[in-house]
Amino acid sequence: MKRNKVILAAAGVLAIAGSALISVPAQAAKPSILVWVDSPRLPGAKEYAKIMKGKVDVKVELHAQGDLLAKVQLFNRVKKGWPDVVFGPPNDVAVLRNPIINNAREISSLLKPDEIKNFGKLNDWCKGADGKYYCVKNDMAQSVLWYDTKLFAEFGYKVPTKMSELFAIGADLAKNHPGYSLGALGDAAAYSSYFWPSQCPLNNEKSATRVVINAKSEKCTRVTAALQPLIDAGVYYPGSAFSPEYIKVGQAGKIVAHIGPSWFGEFVLRPAGSFNIPAGRLTAAPMPVWDGEKTNFSGEWGGGIYTISPHAKFPRAALDFAIFMVGDKRNVVDVKNPDGSTGAPTFPAYLKGNALWKAKIDADTYYNGSPYAAMAAQAGKVWTGVKPVRYDADGAWGAAYAPELAKSKDIQKALEAYATYTANLAQQLGYEVTTK
């Protein structure tokens, strides 16, 4: 009997100990994320890694945007290696959502109500047909009219509010000021600055299985008809704005105006290694409207996004990184860049970060009047007929359009080469391609 009591007592102790062990919560693993960014985003990403040390392990890698698809396909085959969050071009959201790739997680279930509110309409590019968000828009790259106030005053020009007025300036430059330029058209600049704002139907996805591509639409031919005489006259350069030849035009102080994205001032017009336009000359105006239209639409050249992999073990930690990049003062305003500048160089798509960026740009004495008002006016006027598509619509400008324009100097022929190329890509991915 005594032996049985001892056994029962021992069993009771074990039961109590066992229940105590069960009630102790498991130690939560410290979140870790692998981040891929391009060079302009690298300082902010590194700053975030420092800030989060001890809370989240943030590994940052510099990533060439063009090789993402190939690398993800490799990771899919070997079942490992996926980055948790990636900065990339805007069309990536459709490419990565392709079921064959499947590397863009829906994030609506992760976003907090105040975060959704802070995007307003500026994150709509990331919204799928199902109403869910699949990326975070880093910045808007809406087109505006950059112009040299000194040259405008010297030549007696008024800031154009219509495209016909801009082209009239071009005709006057050809006649009275040869050698001066209104821009370069040999890459996606032509698309974001002229074709997209004209509502030219090139990448207009109507459904998951149908896309409109029609380079002979009147919305396209009015662009090529207006630009061709000015290309022939040398007012528009039929090559890239980043080419050594055109950089010399900028450095010689001969760019009178250039429709370009909101990042053009900080990345192209201002830097000493680029156009190096002196302080006190540049500002931006809203987009001129096409004659007969009511809205002065913009296009977008860039406007990067953050996508989160469905393989991420800590998806909210990955999203926190993206929100930091678009909305935190320590990146938007304060981060130190390799060229000596501070802050994010592009127009944030997050309202909280945008307000911080506005104050920074408004106080910048480089500009002859802050360009922010023009950017803000155009931020909500990006024509929404263009949507993300599953094929590489961006790369096609370099693959098909630019070579033809460089060869023939015929912008309509170059546009049709682009349309033929993208139509083939679209059909390979199962789209029906129509002209309307």
Q: What is the pLDDT of residues 293-313, one digit of tens each?
A: 999 999 999 999 999 999 999
One domain for residues 126 and 153: no
One domain for residues 190 and 284: yes
For residue 10, being part of any structural domain is answered with no
Q: What does the block give as tokens for 48?
A: 């975030």
One domain for residues 157 and 126: no
Give residues with Cβ within 8 angstroms of 302, minimum separation 6.
89, 90, 139, 141, 261, 263, 346
One domain for residues 227 and 337: no
Edge-to-edge, what's the strand order for the sheet holding 282-285? Answer: 257-261, 143-148, 282-285
For residue 6, being part of any structural domain is answered with no
One domain for residues 270 and 323: no
> Residue 64 has what pLDDT?
83
* 401-417 per-position pLDDT tens digit: 999 999 999 999 999 99
One domain for residues 183 and 213: yes
For residue 178, what is the domain's CATH number? 3.40.190.10
For residue 361, being part of any structural domain is answered with no
One domain for residues 129 and 168: no
Lowest mean pLDDT among 13-27, 102-116, 117-131: 13-27
* Bridge pairing between strands 32-37 and 257-261: unpaired
For residue 374, being part of any structural domain is answered with no
User: How many structural domains compose the chain?
Assistant: 2
One domain for residues 412 and 285: yes
> Residue 66 has what pLDDT?
76
One domain for residues 252 and 292: yes
One domain for residues 114 and 209: no
One domain for residues 231 and 290: yes
For residue 407, being part of any structural domain is answered with yes
* 5-23 per-position pLDDT tens digit: 434 344 443 343 344 444 4
DSSP run (H or E) holding 274: none
For residue 359, being part of any structural domain is answered with no
One domain for residues 283 and 412: yes
Q: Which domain holds residue 251?
A: 143-300+379-434
